[in-house]
């Protein structure tokens, strides 16, 4: 796909409430340069997911503005916007079909070679190769015949193939074995390279490696900086 966004992002005085009179986000201000990794950290209910929902336009800001590449996100077509933003959630949607189908999801025109290339970049190729049916292995709906780590590797491969300009990652909280963990980290690093990435971060390592950390509490940014600065 053609790159639509360079990936500069700016939030200016963004306020939001789901219900009138109950402010959830208050005067959110920050700027991100194309390619930076931003860790969103904060206690449960602080507003991290809400920031992402506004960015994807599942809701619109109550006041203030969000810009991508200097242009208000309300001036883009919602579908164009969402097409160029990739999301990797803690538990990825896998459907019943083969591993090949599941990685290809959303990019039906991709060749088998492109799918395998993406799987290699994602560090998923190793485990797939050792399955008796390899890329033709059928997946049960929900991916219940795979481990959580393997499901994540497929999600990363899918996101690499989708080649979005901006990424949103909801880092897994559950523990996976050390080796898979390393593969997931390697895959994520390849995925994030050169793309603006927002990570709802749970691991110290991720936070340490971020270009910027936004610390959110009660709907406000209480600190912004690198790990060394904070």
Q: List residues binding ligand ATP (CB under 6 A).
A: 18, 24, 42, 44-50
The full DSSP string for 163-188 is T-SEEEEE---S---HHHHHHHHHHH
How does strand 37-41 pair with strand 196-200? parallel
Give me the helices (H) in 12-147, please.
48-55, 78-83, 99-104, 112-121, 125-129
CB of 114 to ligand ATP, least distance (A): 34
CB of 70 to ligand ATP, least distance (A): 26
> From CA 97, how far away is CA 110, in angstroms rounded?
16
CB of 99 to ligand ATP, least distance (A): 29
Beta carbon nearer to ligand ATP, 28 or 121 = 28
Which pair of structure tokens corresponds to residue 87? 């999301």
CB of 45 to ligand ATP, least distance (A): 4
* 221 phi and psi angles, rounded to 5 deg: -85, 115
Of 151, 205, 149, residue with least CA distance to 180: 149
Q: Is 42 left (phi over 0), alpha (psi -120 to 50) or beta?
A: left
> From CA 154, how far away is CA 141, in angstroms rounded?
14
CB of 133 to ligand ATP, least distance (A): 37
């Amino acid at each position: 796909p053609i790159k639509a966004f360079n990936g500069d992002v700016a939030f200016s005085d963004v306020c939001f409430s789901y219900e009138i009179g109950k402010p959830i986000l208050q005067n959110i201000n920050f700027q991100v340069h194309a390619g930076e990794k931003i860790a969103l950290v904060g206690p449960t209910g602080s507003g991290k997911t809400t920031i992402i929902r506004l960015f994807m336009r599942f809701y619109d800001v109550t006041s203030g503005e969000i810009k991508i590449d200097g242009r208000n996100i309300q001036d883009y077509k919602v579908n164009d916007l969402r097409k160029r933003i990739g999301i990797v959630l803690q538990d990825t949607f896998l459907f019943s079909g083969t591993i090949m189908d599941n990685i290809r999801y959303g990019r039906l025109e991709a060749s088998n070679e492109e799918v395998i290339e993406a799987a290699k970049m994602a560090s998923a190729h190793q485990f797939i190769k050792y399955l008796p049916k390899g890329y033709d292995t059928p997946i049960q709906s929900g991916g219940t015949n795979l481990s959580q780590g393997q499901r994540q590797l497929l999600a990363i491969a899918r996101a690499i193939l989708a080649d979005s300009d901006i990424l949103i990652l909801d880092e897994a909280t559950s523990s996976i074995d050390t080796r898979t963990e390393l593969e997931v980290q390697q895959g994520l690093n390849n995925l994030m390279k050169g793309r603006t990435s927002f990570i709802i971060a749970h691991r110290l390592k991720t936070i340490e490696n971020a270009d910027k950390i936004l610390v959110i509490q009660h709907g406000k940014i209480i600190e912004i900086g690198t790990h060394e600065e904070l």
